[in-house]
Structure 1
Amino acid sequence: MTNPFEDPEGTYHVLINDEGQYSLWPSFVEVPAGWSVALRETDRQSCLDHIDENWTDMRPKSLIRAMEGATADGAGREE
């Protein structure tokens, strides 16, 4: 049996979670809790292209917010 996440002939969804992280997901598998569908059932390459185009910052949203807060507070500035 082939890995369903690597089947070039398979159909997939692109999922996204609350942290803005993406996942390639086989369309026949139920979407797990905490994830929503960003791109519905299509071929694997189209899903990978969508992820490449849209997930440009690999940091979780909570880290981005924390880093922006640190900058706004003056933390991390050299005196």
Structure 2
Amino acid sequence: MPTIYQVLVNHEEQYALYPVARELPDGWTPTGFSGTEDECVAHVDARWSDTRPRSVRTAATAARIGGS
């Protein structure tokens, strides 16, 4: 029987796959999606195109706006 995973997200809007049967790690929140590893990877790939942490994306945007 394959392991069922859930998709988690942290405060930096980074995603992770984590086995459903395990206790959630600190700082991570379930997105509500679970399935096989392949299904979860496809779900994350469809939603997470910019893998930089939110704080880095925000700083880059601020620098672009402030530097114009």
Normalized against structure 2, the TM-score is what? 0.88
Q: Structure 2 regions of 5+ residues with no counterpart?
A: none
- Give the superposed CA RMSD: 1.6
Hey, what does 1:12 align to over in structure 2? 5
Structure 1 residues 36-66: Cα deviation after superposition (integer angstroms, max 9, x where no partner): 0013432221111111111110110000110
After TM superposition, which residue ranges in structure 1, 4 or more long, deviate above 3 angstroms?
Answer: none
Q: 1:49 to 1:39 in 2, by over 3 A?
A: farther
**Secondary structure of 2:56's aligned partner:** helix
Which stretches in structure 1 are left out of the alignment for 5+ residues?
1-7
Instruction: Determine the structure 1 residue equivalent to 2:55.
Output: 62
Deviations 1:6-56 (A, max 9, x none): xx8110100000111000101111111111001343222111111111111
Which of 41, 46, 57 does residue 53 from structure 1 map onto? 46
Identify the structure with bigger relative contact order (alpha carbons < 8 Å, sequence gap 6+): 2
- Percent identity of paired positions between Structure 1 and Structure 2: 35
Question: Out of 14, 39, 53, which is 1:21 matched to?
Answer: 14
More helix by share: 2
Q: What is the aligned length?
A: 68
Select which of 32, 41, 45 maps to 2:34. 41
Q: Counterparts of 2:56 and 2:33 in 1: how far apart (Å)?
A: 28
